[in-house]
Every structure is written in structure tokens, then in C-alpha cells.
Amino acid sequence: MTLVSQRDVFEPTADLAWTIEDDAVDPLRESSREARFAVSNGFLGVRCSRAINREGRLVLPPRTYVAGFFDTSGPEGPISGLVPASDWLQLRVTLDRDVSEHDASKMSPHRLVLDMRRGMLLTESRQHSGTALGFRARTLHLVSLHARAIGLQLIESCIEGPDVEHGLEAHVGEKGFALVPERLEQSVAVWHTKQSGKRLGMAVKATLNIDGRELAPVALGQLAWSWQWTSRPGQIVSFERMVALTRTDGGEVDTGERARNELEAAQRIGWRGVLAEHEAAWSRRWDCSDVVVEGDVGAQQALRFALYHLISAADPMDDRVSIGARGLTGEDYHGHVFWDTEIYLVPFYIMTWPEAARALLMYRFHTLAGARAKAVRMGWRGALYAWESADTGDETAPEQVIGPDRQVIRVLSGQQEQHISADVAYAVWQYWQATRDESFLLEAGAEILLETGRFWASRAGLEADGLRHIRGVIGPDEYHENVDDNAFTNVMARWNIRRALDAAALLRERWPERWSDISNRLGLVDSELEEWRRAAETIVTGFDRQTGLFEQFAGYFGLEDIDLAGYAGRSVPMDVVLGRERTQRSQVVKQADVVALLALLPEEFEGEAAAANFRYYERRCGHGSSLSRAMHALVAARLGEDETALRYFQETAAIDLADTCAAIAGGVHVAAQGGIWMTAVFGFAGLALQAQSLAFAPRLPAGWRSLTFRVAWRGRRLKIGIDQARHVLEATLEAGEAMTILVNGEQHKLGIGPVKVALFGRLDGR
């Protein structure tokens, strides 16, 4: 019998380019699917789970995460980590006294569909009771992109067996491991963390309708309800559960009442209203963010999947949180924030969702005190950001971990991976270049630039050779520790100092009162600024003018050169293959280091130096990080090596879309998803941010017929279309004042209506 509803909300978007589907039942891959099919809105994240039941025990309970909900606990010592909230999706179904919790062994089939267009997970399954077919069910769940505190679960089932006693129990599952209950009532609960003093409030409402009539529940106690009825063939049972979750970071705010108020507001418009607002919010985001590829189905799916998770990860309404390495899709790295956010994610938000970019950068401003404290603790001035950051800005990187060989490994990243301060400054300057957000610059951005610039000026020590050296660091290539004059670190440090000087000059010229205030508060005087200039002029970069190569760090060229072609097809990282000690004595690189520098600061590579450095380091990179291939794809695309770029693009997409990477069990690699967007827009479309305009130098892969996307620029919105066959770039100014863009170095004025620019033979780089 066909399931019925006023509107078939359970049917996914018809265009397959908008959906990801899976109908396999494989316990070994279930945790990966939990991450891949997760739903999130930047405040709440819910992993997918089919709740496989083995011998009556729930072994893979779904997890809900709340952004910024950290506590200090766990088996690895006093490390601040993201605390799972209570599971609000659990159901217990009774068919003639046969109890099941979506038992996978009795599901045939169980279809999962991630509807990326609508931002929700849909499932379809059949449940058996003994030899008789019990019921067929379709489900939908989401966390609202419009009202971020709200989660919605809908289930519509059709009874297909004979008359049986039927029951359904809805309850909130196990509480987070570090939560202490404060208030537990029928429909409202409050917990707090053991150490950090954060509170989580939850309000829940569940209803059951049978053939359109609401059935009264039996209250089972705290956050639990039960319904009992005699079912008959053809009966339609509809279940609705709405939940509101709120977080407070201390104080006297009643988070339980806040949750109740959020839920009541949602109930006033009903689940259809919640669904409509959610879909409208997703539609607005897609209008600004979508990237359309014609001619490559796989690339289109990869981009949509990347954009789905990028949109899902951000919350522009909360500038006290940032995006962890796995977003809200898993617990790898304890939910900590790395350089991933500023280098791989913020560019997407700057160009498509500036409000989200601003919130992420304000998080770095709010954690500036922790960065200052770390710099002082280590003997320097200014601000040294935490390599791993949670909610306070304090360093949360572990001091040791257990390696693949079960040996204890000392972790130096928290002390030596200092390029993070330049990475934050880079994102701040990119945001300023793209938005001209004066209030942000005056409120937060200039101070971040000045304090990070001050750090590098104090960190780069003047030595007997008359040059400044930065010793004892780790660059992006984490296979080599405690190195001197890492090229990425030093060149980014020099760039950071120069942008700090630019910010000081800008404030002095345009906002003298603000400059007087900030310089007095920070104790900045002209003599210190002059010292910064001298520091920037004398920092060692490792650039060899004869070869055009940057030496990755002092002494790198003298290390063992290992041909990685001999290790093709390996399934483990190179440091495991070679051993840590030999890896450190070799030129094998974990991830893009000089290549990352080439991606971020291409102006530092003159003439043939860009191609020379890419060729040299590409064949020495083992890609032991999910971040690496995207950087290589971006640089290869800019260099016109479209086949190489497309290969790296596809390999980056496979990290989360293919069942080849066991690490996805801990969450989606959201920075790699950002890298996919960067490769398409900054790489293949050749977009570059310049002082007064946007520039494009398109080089599409041979199989891509066209590439279309939108970007934001200083209060404007542009639509860019690149047609491979016709060798044309079409730019349309959809909102904002007239502007000028550069296409292959030539200026073109944008006003009302589209502007078409002939690209001639340069479109594909040949």
C-alpha cells in the first residue's frame, strides 16, 4: 500500500546530483556512514545511525553534538573535549511482544538518502516480526538551519501484517559521559558538565497519529513516552518528535526554560512550518554557494557533498565557537580547532557567506587572551595561538599519544607548530580584502594583525650573520620536528609582519583616534614598528635564486632522497612504512609545506619558480594528511596541469565519499571539503583576491564543459560562468555597485547585465 501524507516530504530531491544514497548493511562500515550522512547546522550536529542491535544491545548509538560544549575529562588526561549530548532519536517498536530497536538483521532493505538540497536525512525500511511482515517505515530527521536549536524527527509507517498488538516507545537515550543531571522532568531536562560548568538544556515533544487521529501517550517518566494500540493491515501511523537544545557557558541563565521557549516557538508553527523555514534557509544558502559543473558527474557530486558539509558546519550567530577538524560529525581530535579553519574553510565563507567568516574570525579575537598568554609563557611577545583550540583559546594539544606501533610518542605540535598565528592573520587579511568590513577591522581584525605581527618580530631572532632566524619549529610537514627556518613558517611570518604594518598605517591614516586608542593600549610605539620593518627585511626564507627553490627548512636538501614511486599502492602512511627515525632523516614530506606556501602566497614565486617548486616537492610528498591533496590540486590547477589537478581533486573527494579511509569513522574531513571548493574556484576558475578587484585566469579540466558559481565581493554578488567549448567567461553583477574585474590580466567593467569575455586558447592553459 502507498504511504500517504499531505505533502510527500519523505521523497528526496529527484535530481540525483543532490543526493547521496546507501542501502548496504555492513557493520564494518557503519561508523563511516554515521559521519557521511550526518546532519548539522553549525550549532547542532547529529550523526546518522541505524542502531544495529547485537544480542539485544545497542552497539552504535547515534550521537548529537552541540557546538562549544566542551569539558575537561577523558582517559587521555586533562584534555578539553567535545561532550556528546543525549540521543533524542531513539525509538523502541513492539510487534506482538517482539521488541526491536531497528534490528538490522530484520531490515530488508534499509535505504539511506542524504538530501543535500534540503539538508536532511531520509530513510526507508521494512521491519519483520518472526515470519510475518510487520510494517514499512519512512523517516526524516534534520536540525533546522533557520532555528538552530531545533531538531525534527518524522516517521510515517504502514502496517502490512495481520492484526497485532502494536507499541511504540519514544525516549531520550544515554546521557553524555561527562554530564551531570540537574533537572529531569517529563519534557524538560538540564545537565551540566563536571569541570567546565557548561549547561545543556533540552525540551522534547512527541506525538503519534493513527490514520490522522492523535493517540494519547502514557508518560513513562523523564523524557519518555509510550503508545499502545491494536494495529490492522493498511493502517498509517505517523510519529513526530521535536526537540530544542540550548547551551549556556555558566552564570544564572535558565537553559531549561530557554529550551522550552525555543520548542514552544517551533510548535506554534508546527512541523510543517519548521520544515518550510529550514528548506527556505537551505535554498538561500545554495543560491549563494552552489557550484555547477557540466560534463563531470563525479566532480558535481563531490562539490555538492563538500558544500553541504561546509554550509552545515558554520553558525554565524555564535562568534564564541569555531569549526573543529571534523565539524560536528564526529569526535576525532576532541572537536578541537586547528589551522584547518582559517586556511581551508574561511576562504569559502569569505566568498559566499561573509557573516559566517566574520563569526569564525571573531572567535579568534575572543581567544586572543589565551594566545597572548601562550606567547608570554614561551618567552615571546604578542600572540601565539594555540595549535589545538577549544573554547577558551588555551592550548589543548596533547603532550603525548600512542603511535601505530603502540609506543608512546611525545607530541611537540602544541609548542612548535607556530605558523598557526600567521594562518589566523592570513584569514583576517583575506576577509578584510574581500569585504572591507570596517567595523570588524576596528573592533578585532587590526588587533589580531598587530599582536601576531608583534609575536613574529620577537620570535625571529637576530643572529651573528645579520639575519633573523626562527629556530625549533614544525611546519605543515609534521614528519620533521624541531627544524630551523622552515620556509612556510618564515615566509608567512614575514608576510604577517608586513600586513601588521599595513594595518597600523591604515588606522593611523583613516582612523587616528582608533589608532591612538589601540597603540596606547598595546604599548605600540614608532620605534617598535621600525623594528618590525627591519625584522621583515632580514628574516631568512630559504630561497635559492640559482635553482628557484625554497629549501623546506635548513638542511633539508642534505637529507636522504627516497623515491616514493617504489611505495605506490601502500595502505599506510610513509612514516609507518619507513619508521619515524628514517622518515625524519629523509626528504619525505607528510603534506603540502612549500606547496602550501605556493598556494597561499603565489606572489612569492617569480617566473619559473612556482613550477620548479611544485615539481620538486610533489614527488617527495607522501600525503599523510587529508589536507595535502587539495593544496596540490589547487596549485596544479593554477599552473595549468589540469590532469594532475583533477586527479588530486578526485582523490580528495574520495577521502569522505569512498569507503577507503577508515578515519572517516571519527567524522567528515571538513577541511578537505573546503579544499575541494578552493580547487574549483581558486584553481580551475583561477579566482584571486587583489587589492582593488577580483581576478580570474580560468583553466578547466578537459572533461568539464562549463563551471558556474557565485561569489561575494565588498557588498556585491557576482555570478561567474566559464564555458569551455566557447572559450568564454560570463560575469554578471547580481547585486551591488559597478566594479571592475580582471580576466587573464585585462580589465572589464561590470554594471547592469552580463559581461562576456573571450578567453581564446588560454582557457585550458594550453
Q: Does a structural domain hold residue 115?
A: yes
Whether 167 and 308 share a structural domain: no
Please check whether residues 280 and 297 belong to one and the same domain: no
pLDDT at 511: 98
**How many domains, the chain?**
2
pLDDT greater at residue 597 or residue 233: 597
- More reliable by pLDDT, 48 or 346: 346
The distance from CA 208 to its chain's CA centroid, rounded to whole angstroms, is 36
| One domain for residues 296 and 268 | no
Residue 50: pLDDT over 70: no
Strand partners, 207: 240
Q: What is the pLDDT of residues 32-47, one digit of tens each?
A: 888 999 999 999 999 9
Q: What is the distance between the alpha carbons of residues 372 and 385, in angstroms, rounded to a whole number?
A: 8
Q: Are residues 355 and 224 in the same domain?
A: no
Q: Is the pLDDT of residue 31 over 60?
A: yes
Residues 296 and 382 in one domain: yes
CA 588 to CA 601: how far, in whole Å? 23
Rounded to the nearest 5 degrees, what angle is found at the Cα of 478, between the Cα atoms of 476 and 482? 100
Average pLDDT, the chain: 90
Of the listed ranges 123-132, 196-205, 620-629, the least confidently predicted one is 123-132
In a domain, 113, yes or no: yes
Q: Is residue 557 situated within a structural domain? A: yes
CATH number of the domain enclosing 677: 1.50.10.10
Q: What is the pLDDT of residue 275?
A: 97
Provide the CB-side half-sphere exposure for 735 (13 A, CA). 9
DSSP 10-27: TSPPSSGGGEEEE----T
Q: What is the pLDDT at residue 486?
A: 98
**Candidate from 4-8, 78-82, 151-155, 677-681 with smallest mean pLDDT:** 4-8
Considering the domain architecture, whether residues 531 and 465 belong to the same structural domain is answered as yes
Count CB-CB contacts under 10 A for residue 469.
18
State residue 163's pLDDT score.
Answer: 72
Q: Domain check: are 343 and 214 in the same one?
A: no
Could you tell me if residue 754 is inside a domain? no
Q: Are residues 262 and 294 in the same domain?
A: no
The verdict on 201 and 315 lying in the same domain is: no
pLDDT in tens, 258-292: 999 999 999 999 999 999 999 999 999 999 999 99
For residues 427 and 338, the answer to whether their CB atoms sit within 8 Å is no
On whether residue 699 sits in a domain, the answer given is: no
User: How do residues 515-571 score in pLDDT, each as one tens digit?
Assistant: 999 999 999 999 999 999 999 999 999 999 999 999 999 999 999 999 999 888 888
Give mean pLDDT, residues 291-296. Answer: 98
Buried b (16+ CB within 10 A) or exposed e, 406-437: eeeeebbbbbbbbbbbbbbbbbbbbbbebbeb
What band does 339 get if pLDDT is binned at 50, 70 and 90?
A: very high
Is 734 inside any structural domain? no
C-alpha dihedral (93, 98, 99, 103), degrees to nearest 10: -90
153: CATH: 2.70.98.40
| Same domain (yes/no): 311, 248 | no
The three-class DSSP label of residue 429 is helix
Domain boundary among the residues 684, 719, 753 is at 684
Residue 108 in this model has a pLDDT that exceeds 50: no
Rounded to whole angstroms, the Cα distance separating 634 from 682 reads 7
How do residues 455-514 score in pLDDT, each as one tens digit? 999 999 999 999 999 999 999 999 999 999 999 999 999 999 999 999 999 999 999 999
Confidence category of residue 752, pLDDT binned at 50, 70, 90? confident
Rounded average pLDDT over 44-62: 58
Q: What pLDDT is recorded for position 3?
A: 42
315 and 383 share one domain: yes
The pLDDT tens digits for 623-676 are 999 999 999 999 999 999 999 999 999 999 999 999 765 567 899 999 999 999
Indicate the residue among 684, 710, 726 that finishes a domain.
684
Positions marked catalytic: 478
- Give the residue numbers spanning the domain of 70: 29-287
234 shares its domain with 349: no
| Integer CA distances (angstroms), 459 to 373, 418, 491, in order | 15, 10, 13
Residue that is last in its domain, among 265, 287, 309:
287
pLDDT at 133: 52
Which pLDDT does position 661 carry in this prediction?
57
104 has a pLDDT exceeding 90:
no
Residue 10 lies in a domain: no
Residue 353 belongs to a domain:
yes
pLDDT score of 765: 34
Q: At what angle do helices 609-618 and 628-638 cross, to 10 degrees?
A: 150
Residue 660 confidence (pLDDT): 66
